[in-house]
Structure 1
Amino acid sequence: MSEQSDGRRHEQLPDPEWPVLDSQVEYETGWFTGGYDLVEQPDGSRKKYYWAELATAVVVVAVTDGQVLFVEQYRPTIRETQLELPAGIVEGGESFTAAAARELREETGFDPSSTSLLQEFWCSTGLLRHRRGFVFAEGLELGERELDSNEFLTPRSIPVDEALDVARASPTNDATVEGILLAQDEGLL
């Protein structure tokens, strides 16, 4: 994995199966990089495949006393407030489980005694270069929250048997639904 100057961890891409004739970055910010790869397709034709690269992220499914911890947060990108699972950027050199413990503490004030990786995968592969890990956290002890300057959120506890309905209620997001479904499939909820 290469590390960007912003300290975030970005995934190293494997060697391409189709020849990449050129790769260009057209837009770069502190949050994402956008560009394209000029690719030779199997029939010999050439095509630009546009992509946006986002930093690797973690989503946390945290359970305490029969409750799943969510955060209520306004999302300016969709102009709505939603309940979602705690989540954030994986810092350079950090594992998904370490990032999950840090993000959970920052956003909710809870420190887990145990974390385990449920799944990691690429997201929206038709456009994004973005990897996401889902972590289960338990054995929570309340401490102090350490919100980032751009975080205005409120922790909410939802009974385990209502978590999927809450996750699916509009507005929602893919990471919240996926996290709850993964934890349920593992028998953790």
Structure 2
Amino acid sequence: MSRHPDGRRHESLSDPEWPVIDSEVEYETEWFTGGYDLVEQPDGGQKKYYWAELATAVVVVAVTDGQVLFVEQYRPTIRETQLELPAGIVEGGESFTTAAARELEEETGFEPTSTSLIQDFWCSTGLLRHRRGFVFAEGLELGERQLDSNEFLTPKAIPVDDALDVARESPTNDATVEGILLARDEGLL
């Protein structure tokens, strides 16, 4: 179901276990696509299952000198400023680790010498078609910060011991909390 030439949308979904009678796109922008699948349920009934498809994204847990790099930015969707982990879209042909290194340098000005995928998974599967990867980055060297035209953010270094508390402070988001918890569970923090 790729509608974007850069490959950011999900190239394919698994073959359905329940027959899909019809699939309709009702709304499409450069940021997301929305629609529904008319599905035959196991009892023979039919139902429309609505979905919003977002580009595959990466979240970066970057550590340097005993500190985790966060970025502070205003989120117009919730009308609040929050501290969050660097993140962005995985461009066509990129792996999660390549996208993480690019996004980290663009947003914070630091280039990692080492990246590793912690985990990737589908998010909010009751409504979204959105895949997210979490990458650990270390060995940071000064690179060149290159913010996108819609990015107004400030890098902030938080001591590793405080990272989870900071990630959980309101306002927060799922990707930041998940990233810190996954990295901590892997023994990386």
Q: Same fold (TM over 0.5)?
A: yes
1:9 deviates by 2.1
After superposition, what is the alpha-carbon deviation per residue over 1:60-99, rounded to whole angstroms, capped at 9, x for unaligned?
Answer: 0000000000000000000000000000000001000000
In structure 2, the gaps of 5 or more residues are none
Label 1:3 to 1:47 Cα distance change in 2 as closer, same or farther (>3 A): closer
Deviations 1:125-148 (A, max 9, x none): 000000000000000001210000
Matched residues in 2 for 1:6 and 1:101: separation? 22
Aligned position for 1:80: 80
Instruction: Give the aligned partner of residue 53 of structure 1.
Output: 53
Q: 1:91 aligns to what?
A: 91
Aligned to 2:8: 9
The residue type equivalent to 1:75 in the other structure is: R
Query: Structure 2: how far apart are the matches of 1:90 and 1:66?
Result: 27
Superposition pairs of residues 122-133 of structure 1, within 5 angstroms:
122-133=122-133
* Higher strand fraction (1 or 2): 1
TM-score, normalised by the number of residues in structure 2: 0.98
1:18 paired residue number: 18
- Offset at residue 3 of structure 1 (A): 4.7
The code of the aligned residue for 1:123 comes to C
**Number of residue pairs the alignment of both structures matches:** 188
Q: CA deviation at 1:10?
A: 2.1
* Residue 180 (structure 1) aligns with: 180
Q: Give the residue type in structure 2 aligned to 1:115.
A: T
Return closer, same or farther for 1:37/1:3 CA change in 2, 3 Å cut-off. closer
What is the alpha-carbon distance in structure 2 between the residues aligned to residue 60 and residue 32 of structure 1? 22
Map of 1:129-168 to 2, 5 A cutoff?
129-168=129-168
What is the deviation of 1:8? Answer: 4.0
Partner of 1:111: 111
Contact 1:25 1:35 in 2 (8 A): yes
Backbone CA RMSD of aligned residues: 0.9
Q: Which runs of 4+ in 1 moved over 4 A?
A: none
**Percent of aligned pairs with the same amino acid:** 85
